[in-house]
Amino acid sequence: MELRPAGSARPPLDAVLDAMRVVAIPTRTRFRGVTVREAALFDAPLGASEFSPFPEYGDAEAAAWLAAALDFGWREQPALRRERIAVNATVPAVPAAAVPGILARFPGCRTAKVKVAERGQTLAEDAARVGAVRAALGPDALIRIDANGGWTVAEALAALEALAPVGLDYAEQPCADVPGLAAVRLGLRARGIPVRIAADESVRKAEDPLAVARAGAADLLVVKAQPLGGIGRALGIVAEAGLPVVVSSALDTSVGIAMGLRLAAALPDGALAGACGLGTAALLAGDVVADPLLPVDGAIAVRRPALDPERLERHRARPEREAWWRERVRRAYARLPA
């Protein structure tokens, strides 16, 4: 997997480590098991950049995230095609009663992505949560669900048949692998259930991110700049896949969100499949910039805020966690192409 744009040189490791700060920011609500989001931030020559693979990710996978951070902080980026990006609300796997409070953090958003298939929860709880979103947003809003690969094919078909009457824009990663996605997509068609399939993990965590498109296993792709190795590489994948896309984040700080916004703003006309999942800084109980990238009237302006020293210090990680992240950067850096 080529992680470095052709013709570019990466910065020396010492310069990367000198520019690095590590933060730990609590989440407002438990999100995929995360209650504190850790991230490494770089005060880089071309602007702040972020390296924030989740702690359980291995070094090979983390190397792609580091390639993206170095690309965004030390290299010029593609030209912008748009100045504002429509975003969706993101609803964690909360009780239905908590849904209105979550949606209030995403003012003006008319699309919502709802987490389902959370370990330890039931389909009835998923249905109540999705129903609460529909009740809060009304009949004209778009609702997406995201299972994060948590269902088998049989479970996915049963769940989507049960949830479809609420009205779903698409189901994101209902099964973990490409054959499962293909089987669910065919099964939905056979049952006459008009729910599209979106692939996320089957793109960003795959050795071959184009396999899902070649297999006809998805109707659209969810792409994230960090795990795909940077904006340029993500744009190349989108071009080769030939499918519409939604740009999303991975519970990033506003610095990582800025990278995602830049990717969404650089996509060719017609490539975006609706609102993007880039409003997730609203799920954090703090940030590292003075002017966070949060939704206003359902969209976020494409900009790149600077790191705020006071907020970096306020959310500074414990010394042992900072040491852990610095060692992780060293290992990931060693895996980048020479």
Query: Can you give the residue ranges of every domain in the chain?
Result: 13-76+310-334, 84-306
pLDDT of residue 152 exceeding 60, the answer is yes
Q: Which of 21, 115, 233, 304 is catalytic?
A: 115
Confidence grade of residue 298 (pLDDT, cut at 50, 70, 90): very high
Q: Which of 10, 134, 204, 224 is catalytic?
A: 224
**What residues are designated binding site?**
146, 172, 200
Reported CATH class of domain 13-76+310-334:
alpha beta
Instruction: Provide mean pLDDT across the span 138-146.
Output: 98
Q: What are phi and psi of 325, to 5 degrees?
A: -70, -35
- 205 in catalytic set: no
Does residue 275 sit in helix, strand or coil? coil
Q: Which residue is listed with tokens 């939704």?
A: 295
Q: What is the pLDDT of residues 30-63, one digit of tens each?
A: 888 899 999 999 999 999 999 999 999 999 999 9
For 293-332, give the DSSP string.
Answer: ---BTTEEE---PPB-HHHHHHTBPPHHHHHHHHHHHHHH
Looking at residue 1, what is its pLDDT? Answer: 41
Which positions ≥6 away from 47 have C-beta within 8 Å?
A: 72, 73, 258, 304, 306
Question: In the beta sheet, which residues pair with residue 299?
Answer: 86, 296
Looking at residue 2, what is its pLDDT? Answer: 44
Which positions ≥6 away from 140 have C-beta within 8 Å?
A: 110
Residues making up the chain, counted from first to last = 338
Instruction: Provide mean pLDDT across the span 266-293.
Output: 97
Answer CATH for 84-306 from 3.20.20.120, 3.40.50.11740, 1.10.3210.10, 3.40.50.620 = 3.20.20.120
Looking at residue 125, what is its pLDDT? Answer: 98
Looking at residue 8, what is its pLDDT? Answer: 56
pLDDT of residue 175 exceeding 50, the answer is yes
Q: How many CB atoms lie within 10 A of CB 309?
A: 12
Note whether 174 and 147 are within 8 A (CB).
yes
Note whether 314 and 47 are within 8 A (CB).
no
Instruction: Provide mean pLDDT across the span 1-11.
Output: 56
Q: How many CB atoms lie within 10 A of CB 145?
A: 28
Q: What are phi and psi of 86, to 5 degrees?
A: -65, 140
pLDDT of residue 194 exceeding 60, the answer is yes
- 113 in catalytic set: no
**What residues are designated binding site for Mg(2+)?**
146, 172, 200
